[in-house]
A = this chain, B = another copy of it.
């Protein structure tokens, strides 16, 4: 049975009958059906009918559109308008954590809200691929580009994007004045420490990452600020460093135990996972013997550890939303900022059972 031959095409119409096969209906067809001109149909479609076309004509056109199941050809619209409704979305890694997916999820939601569609490119951090992707985006006349990374770090915006509205998401470029949206690492670090402080802890370790990134500086600052605010003296003996993964958390466990703290802020959830394992291997209980706080609120992991891990939420979804928002705003207003705008999104704390409430006499 060849495609396109459908038994029902020769049958009477049932109430549930579908509109004609949506494909090849064009403006011309609608115009013919409505007994009007192509221009008029176009005007109606684009809601430019105000004070131009009689109510009756509008009604006729609308009826024809509906009956024929007309859908405008986006390619043609893009061609004649000189710009599509595409937003290009570049990400450097989509296949390891759900982080990129969360950004995409937010970006798409916002894009759709404005009638835009996301063109996606996963570059795997490869410059060749990135170049190719951006070229393709430009060929398709994207309105703008979201350039995002799976973890917060500095990047340098590709030259190819120079003449295209661009917003950086989860990254920033110190040498460019492109708008960027990033997580507020400092306030996040503060929130992490405060969960412990508010629970009555005074001796709180901080395990930083060994890797160079804004999170390394920012979260530490936040931790220190929180201590300061609580009247706790900072103590270098309580500040550690480790690889930002499970192994790192395991490796640093002995030092943390030796330091005599009652709570510890880990650079991320993976580190906390490793620390959990190491503590348990020593017969220690969380939070009875040690309170632990992570960072990232990583899906599948943080909420399901034993006990569930207190942590700080990375606002990936919100970064995606804001990114698209700012991009569209810049496109619409054609505003160009002489100085770079950096928007920081808050990282809210997520309190779970890994923190022991201390009856501190100091509180």
Contact = CB atoms under 8 A, between A and B. Distances in A.
A211 to B, nearest CB: 16
A63 B304 CA distance: 61
A60 interface: no
Interface in A92-148: 94-98, 100-102, 104-105, 108, 112, 117-122, 124, 132, 135-136, 138-141
Given A23-B163, A301-B300, A304-B270, A139 B108 contact: no
Contact of A300 (B4, B96, B102): B96
Contacts of A10: none
B94 A245 contact: no
Contacts of A73: 79, 139, 141
Interface string A68-90: 00011111101100001000010
A22 interface: yes
Interface in A233-257: 245-247, 250
A132 B113 CA distance: 11
A351 to B, nearest CB: 19
Given A101-B95, A105-B122, A122-B108, A140 B74 contact: yes
Interface residues of A, number: 68
Interface in A33-76: 71-76
A134 to B, nearest CB: 10
A159 B18 CA distance: 10
A288 to B, nearest CB: 13
A300 B272 CA distance: 13
Contacts of A306: 246, 250, 274, 277, 281
A175 to B, nearest CB: 16
B300 A270 contact: yes
A305 interface: yes
Given A23-B163, A281-B306, 5 more contacts: A75-B78, A89-B120, A104-B122, A117-B119, A301-B301
20 contacts: A3-B163, A3-B336, A22-B138, A22-B163, A23-B163, A72-B139, A75-B79, A75-B141, A76-B79, A94-B102, A94-B105, A95-B299, A95-B317, A98-B101, A108-B120, A108-B122, A270-B304, A277-B305, A280-B281, A298-B300
Which 8 A/B pairs are nearest by Cβ-Cβ distance?
A94-B101, A246-B304, A277-B306, A95-B105, A75-B78, A74-B139, A120-B120, A95-B102
